[in-house]
Structure 1
Amino acid sequence: MRAEDRTGLLGEEIAADHLAEAGHLILERRWRSTRGELDLVTIDGDELVAVEVKTRRGLGYGHPFEAVGPQKLHRLHRLLAEYVSGYPGPRIRRRVDVVSVLLPPDDARAAEDGTRPRVEHLRDVRP
C-alpha cells in the first residue's frame, strides 16, 4: 500500500474516533457508488452526515481544508443525496462536514514525545 493511502486510512480512523467521541454514530466507512466515495457516513442527532476527511503530515501543501473546494463540495452533496435515496426509514435532514487531520511528520518521534494528531471539524459545509 502506498504511503499516501496509509496516511489517508489512518486519518479516517482518527476522524471516526473523534466523531464517535463527539456523539456521532458511524454508519459507513468508505461508502462507494459508481459516482464516487464518501469517506464516512454518520448520524449526528437527527441529521445524516457525509464526512470528507483530509489528512496531511504537514502544511507544505497547504491546510487540509484547502483541498475541499466548491466542485468537491457539490460532488459530496450529490453523493449524499444518492446515499439517502437508498436509506431505509423516514426522511432525515442531511449535511456535509469536513474533518482535517494533521499528523505529526514522524510517527516514531511523535510516539516518543506524546505529540498527537490535530483534528479540526467543520460542520454543514456548503459550496
Structure 2
Amino acid sequence: MRAKDVTGIIGEEIAAEYLSRQGHEILERRWRGARGELDLITRDGAQLVAVEVKTRRGSGYGHPFEAITGPKLARLHRLLLEYCAAVHRLHERRRVDVVAVVLSGTSEAHAAEHLIRGVEHLKDVS
C-alpha cells in the first residue's frame, strides 16, 4: 500500500472517531458508487452527511482544506445524491462536510506512530 494511502486511512479513522464523539452515526466507510468514492457517510440528527476527509503530515502541501476545489465539491454532492438514490433515501435532508486532519511528522514508514496535531470540521460545505 502506498504511504499516502496509509496516511489517508489513518485520517479517516481519526475523523470517524471525532465525528462519533460529536454525535454522528457512522453509516458507511469508503462507500464506492459508479462515479467515485465517499470517505464517510454519517447521520447527524435528521441529515445524511457525506464527509470528505483530507489528511496531511505537516504543512508542506498546504492546509488540507485547500484541496477542496469547486469541481471536487460538486462531485461530492453528486456522489451523495447517488448514495441516497442507491439506498432509497432521496427524501432525506443531506449535506457535505469536510474534516481536515493534520498529523505530526513526515515518516510514512511508521504510520501507526502518529500524533494528531489538529482536527477541523467544516459543516454544510456548498
Equivalent position of 1:120 in the other structure: 120
Shift of 1:78: 0.2
- For the pair 1:84 / 2:87, whether they are aligned, the reply is no
Q: CA–CA distance in 2 between the matches of 1:33 and 1:61?
A: 28
Once the two structures are superposed, what CA deviation does each residue of 1:5-41 show, in whole Å capped at 9, x if it has no partner?
A: 1000000000000000000000000000120000000
5 Å matches for 1:1-127?
1-88=1-88, 91-105=91-105, 115-126=115-126
Q: Partner amino acid for 1:77?
A: H
Counterpart amino acid of residue 82 in structure 1: E
Gaps of 5+ in 1: none
Identity of counterpart residues, as a percentage?
Answer: 61
What's the C-alpha RMSD, in Å, of the aligned pairs?
Answer: 1.8
In structure 2, give the amino acid aligned to 1:95: R
Instruction: Report if aligned partners of 2:81, 2:90 keep a CA contact under 8 Å in 1.
Output: no
CA shift digits 1:63-92 (9 cap, x unpaired):
000001100000000000000012245721
- Unpaired runs of 5+ residues, structure 2, are none
Aligned residue-pair number: 122
Is the Cα–Cα contact under 8 Å of residues 24 and 44 in structure 2 kept in the other structure? yes
TM-score w.r.t. length of structure 1? 0.89
Which is helix-richer, 1 or 2? 1
What TM-score results when the alignment is normalised by the length of structure 2? 0.90
Amino acid of the structure 2 residue aligned with 1:32: R
Change in Cα spacing, 1:5 to 1:91, as seen in structure 2 (3 Å) is same
